[in-house]
């Protein structure tokens, strides 16, 4: 069962609050243990408790009035998933699904594990930790600007472009997306050091949502904007929740129903709450740099310290309240961490 494997990777060392050694691997983060064969049996290890709980959820089929299915996955393709505007109770309660997806941020962005999501490539050898150009010392003014949703380009941390280009190539991630994920994680490490969001969590969500802005023939241009625009299905209650239009169709072009938009698939009302510009201008929902920073802000706001397993799952659950979705994000995050 994949969930048990994901939990095995969730043994994040205490030092993850600062950094994870570049040599971190699956072995250093723990190995999988067997899950109990009887869903009613008393769980033993942390791995067994998670597998036991997830199996129970699968048998029950519903938690908190919400069905637990395949998370909307479709064979041969998938529609972009809608962004929820409000936090909903985590379907897995207080157990971890994939805290390893939170790779610590110190002077660099690094991590470890190697379970590849479908369709991705790249070697699994580890590299030295990538350096980041030290940002300017934060001040009350920069804190206020961050709270308002703007990042001063001069004060924002800068990701090592050589590291980003190399990792993007090995991970199969478009370079603008790689820079966006790492930059957002570094920015949040400055603004909310108690959050601990990892670039690989953001990359995993970007992969599951839109294959980093390339789903359906889209691509990221030189400015990181997804073209043609990525629009989800109308949220008319048929495939997903019914969410009537909240912005007059300004972002999604639909004056009747909201749709998920852009490479990180925000719906308009959630973008209104969390949308930020990484360059200090007007937030652009189609631009991966802005969308990744907005997603990081949302995850940290909802999850708090996402190095805590149940907080990580609550934050990811706000993107899509599904066990399958959490598994998908956990698997992709494990894979990307292992390439760093």
The confidence score (pLDDT) of residue 315 equals 97
40 Cβ partners below 8 Å, 6+ apart?
A: none
Choice between 72 and 299, residue whose per-residue pLDDT is larger? 299
The confidence score (pLDDT) of residue 239 equals 86
The confidence score (pLDDT) of residue 65 equals 28
- What separation, in Å, do the N-terminal and C-terminal C-alpha atoms of the chain show? 26
DSSP 8-state class, residue 151: -
Of 31-35, 154-158, 319-323, which range is least confident? 31-35
Residue 154 burial by Cβ neighbours in a 10 Å radius (0-12, 13-18, 19+)? exposed
Domain boundaries, given as residue ranges, for the chain: 2-339
Share of the chain above pLDDT 70, in %: 54
Question: Rounded distance, CA 173 to CA 193, Å?
Answer: 26
pLDDT at 69 over 90: no
Of 36-40, 92-96, 314-318, 332-336, which range is least confident? 92-96
Residue 2 · residue 41 · CB < 8 Å: no
Question: Rounded distance, CA 304 to CA 172, Å?
Answer: 30
Choice between 128 and 205, residue whose per-residue pLDDT is larger? 205
Residue 95 · residue 50 · CB < 8 Å: yes
Of 25-29, 247-251, 253-257, 308-312, which range is least confident? 25-29
The tokens for 84 are 């929820």
149: left (phi over 0), alpha (psi -120 to 50) or beta: left
- What are the tens digits of pLDDT across the range 235-260? 999 988 899 999 999 999 999 999 99
- What are the tens digits of pLDDT across the range 213-225? 999 999 999 999 9
pTM score, whole prediction: 0.62
In 3D space, the residue among 281, 303, 124, 122 whose CA is nearest the CA of residue 205 turns out to be 303
User: Strand 226-227 vs strand 219-220: parallel, antiparallel, or unpaired?
Assistant: antiparallel
Give the helix, strand, coil percentages of the chain, each rounded to 5: 40, 10, 50
Report the alpha-carbon angle 303-304-309, nearest 5.
60
- What are the tens digits of pLDDT across the range 71-105? 333 323 344 444 433 222 222 222 223 333 333 33
Choice between 51 and 89, residue whose per-residue pLDDT is larger? 51
The confidence score (pLDDT) of residue 23 equals 25
Of 80-84, 135-139, 169-173, which range is least confident? 135-139
pLDDT at 57 over 50: no
């Amino acid at each position: 069962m994949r969930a048990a494997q994901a939990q095995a990777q969730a043994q994040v060392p205490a030092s993850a609050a600062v950094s994870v050694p570049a040599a971190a691997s699956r072995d250093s983060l723990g190995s999988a243990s067997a899950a109990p064969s009887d869903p009613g049996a008393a769980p033993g290890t942390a791995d067994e408790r998670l597998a036991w709980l997830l199996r129970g959820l699968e048998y029950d089929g519903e938690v908190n009035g919400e069905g637990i299915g395949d998370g909307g996955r479709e064979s041969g393709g998938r529609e972009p998933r809608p962004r929820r505007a409000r936090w909903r109770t985590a379907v897995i309660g207080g157990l971890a699904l994939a805290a390893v997806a939170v790779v610590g941020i110190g002077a660099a962005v690094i991590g470890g594990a190697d379970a590849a999501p479908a369709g991705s490539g790249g070697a699994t050898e580890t590299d030295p930790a990538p350096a980041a150009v030290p940002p300017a010392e934060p001040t009350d003014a920069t804190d206020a600007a961050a709270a308002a949703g703007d990042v001063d380009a001069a004060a924002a941390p800068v990701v090592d472009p050589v590291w980003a280009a190399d990792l993007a190539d090995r991970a199969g991630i478009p370079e603008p997306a790689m820079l966006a994920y790492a930059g957002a994680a570094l920015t949040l490490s400055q603004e909310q050091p108690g959050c601990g969001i990892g670039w690989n969590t953001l990359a995993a969500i970007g992969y599951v949502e839109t294959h980093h802005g390339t789903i359906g023939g889209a691509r990221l241009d030189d400015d990181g904007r997804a073209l043609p625009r990525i629009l989800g299905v109308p949220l008319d209650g048929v495939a997903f929740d019914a969410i009537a239009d909240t912005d007059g169709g300004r972002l999604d072009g639909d004056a009747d129903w909201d749709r998920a938009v852009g490479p990180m698939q925000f719906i308009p009302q959630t973008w209104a709450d969390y949308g930020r510009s990484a360059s200090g201008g007007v937030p652009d929902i189609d631009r991966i740099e802005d969308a990744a920073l907005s997603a990081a802000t949302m995850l940290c706001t909802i999850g708090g310290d996402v190095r805590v397993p149940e907080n990580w799952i609550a934050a990811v659950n706000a993107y899509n309240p599904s066990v399958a979705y959490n598994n998908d994000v956990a698997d992709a995050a494990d894979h990307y961490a292992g390439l760093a």
